[in-house]
Amino acid sequence: MNQVPLQRCSYGPYSRAMIRICKEESFHQRQGYDIMMKLVKGTDAQKEMAQDALNRWWWPSLMMFGPSDADSVHSAQSMAWGIKQDSNDDLRQKFVDQTVPQADYLGLKVPDPDVKWNEAKGHYDFGEVDWNEFYEVLKGNGPCNAERMAARQNAWNDGKWFRDGLMAHARKREARKMAAE
């Protein structure tokens, strides 16, 4: 996707950060396409892996652009201030328009029965995103949330010895500093 508008927003710190971020995301997009290309040219099991990945990530990918413009709390204001150059719905449409031909080229089937080219609009039509699923994920009820939270809790607990060591070191330094004064 063309990411230059992200670099031309009105908020300077965001605009400058987007230069590096867009380069990195462009790399990820190319890397992902390259991996899918290798999978579809591989064994039947690898082709199934590619189709399975598309099946699992199609709808979450459409959700990542945020809620529809009609339901987006901040999108209109961000557009008016020039922070955003494209609306959520416009970005989602661009994504679909670029991704569907790529999937076709790779011999993969987009897991949306409503996807079809609309000659009059010059864009692909596509099905409605399940925004209930989106909002459930935001509330912490996503399919992997319990695992993710358990991993974070374990990491916090496993790092206790290190935090304790840092605090002991800080107390020791403070005591030395106080003694020297």
- Give the pLDDT confidence of 29-48 residue by residue, as tens digits: 899 999 999 999 999 999 99
SS (H, E, C) 102-162: HHHHHCCCCCCCCCEEECCCCEEECCCCCHHHHHHHHCCCCCCHHHHHHHHHHHHHHCHHH
**Residue 96 near residue 104 (C-beta atoms within 8 A):** no
pLDDT score at 76: 83
- Average pLDDT of 110-136? 95
pLDDT score at 165: 96
- Give the pLDDT confidence of 47-95 residue by residue, as tens digits: 999 999 999 999 999 999 999 888 888 888 888 888 888 889 999 999 9
- Average pLDDT of 10-16? 83
CA–CA gap between residue 172 and residue 3 (Å, rounded): 50
Name the residue ranges covered by the structural domains of the chain.
4-142, 144-181
CATH 3.40.50.1980 fits 4-142, yes or no: no
For residue 14 the two structure tokens come to 């965001």
| Model confidence, pTM | 0.75
The DSSP 8-state label assigned to residue 42 in this structure reads S
CA–CA gap between residue 49 and residue 40 (Å, rounded): 9
